[in-house]
Amino acid sequence: MRRMTALLLLLALMALAACAPPGAGDGGGETAPVPSASSAPEAPAPGTEGAETDAAEGDTEMRMNLQIGGNIFTARLADTGAARSLARLLEEGPLTLELSAYGGFEQVGALGTTLPASDSRITTTAGDIVLYQADQIVLFYGSNTWSYTRLGRVEDLTGWEGALSGDAVTVTLSLPA
């Protein structure tokens, strides 16, 4: 009798799994590994309670420079706790990172620190800069859909794909003078 109950339970579970929407549980065919960072909403960083309103009104727009080889790109930072934390980190001085090509559409590398993640499922495009797993920066020269925290977006993409097209690149992040 126990075998029959176990068999019926197994069949019921298989039937439920077969009714799941396409892509459920299998990552939807995406190429990036499953992020482990929490997707819980983040609380504002101390001293930044009004920053969302100011940035939305255009009063305070944070920017960051990215130097890749002889190219310097300017990015507008997103209105996220992670972007504000990155800007505070860059106030201490430039940050040089080694990035590696992944998937033919991005360069990714460790930040050497953890930033506050507020991941959500987004579709990136060339020029997007995102945080992955709270401690990796990703620079996109193609497109991907995954769970990331927005950090910013490059304003002028002239030369961007070419600068990121190698197997590995060195990027120096800094605040504009």
Task: Locate 132 and state its tokens.
Answer: 């992955």
Q: Mean of the pLDDT values across residues 110-138?
A: 97
The string over 57-66, giving b where at least 16 C-beta atoms fall within 10 Å of a residue's C-beta and e elsewhere, is: eeeeebebbb
| Claim: this prediction has a pTM higher than 0.85 | no
Whether residue 110 is contained in a domain is answered as: yes
> Each residue of 43-56: pLDDT tens digit?
333 333 333 333 33
> Each residue of 36-92: pLDDT tens digit?
333 333 333 333 333 333 333 344 689 999 999 999 999 999 999 999 999 999 999
Range of the domain at 151: 62-174
Task: Locate 56 and state its tokens.
Answer: 């939305």
pLDDT of residue 133: 96
- Give the C-alpha separation, 161 to 37, whole Å: 28
pLDDT of residue 106: 97
How remote is the C-alpha of 168 from its chain's centroid?
Answer: 18
Whether residue 53 is contained in a domain is answered as: no
pLDDT of residue 14: 43
Whether residue 47 is contained in a domain is answered as: no
Whether residue 130 is contained in a domain is answered as: yes
Q: Higher confidence at residue 26 or residue 143?
A: 143
Scanning 98-158, the segments in alpha helix (DSSP H) are none
Q: Specify the amino acid at residue 169.
A: V
Whether residue 52 is contained in a domain is answered as: no
Whether residue 162 is contained in a domain is answered as: yes
Whether residue 142 is contained in a domain is answered as: yes
pLDDT of residue 177: 87
pLDDT of residue 40: 35
Whether residue 139 is contained in a domain is answered as: yes
CATH code for position 117: 2.40.100.20
pLDDT of residue 61: 86
- Give the C-alpha separation, 75 to 127, whole Å: 8
- Give the C-alpha separation, 147 to 32, whole Å: 9
pLDDT band for position 32 (cuts 50, 70, 90): very low
In the chain, how many domains are there?
1
Q: Which residues pair with 48 in a beta bridge?
A: none
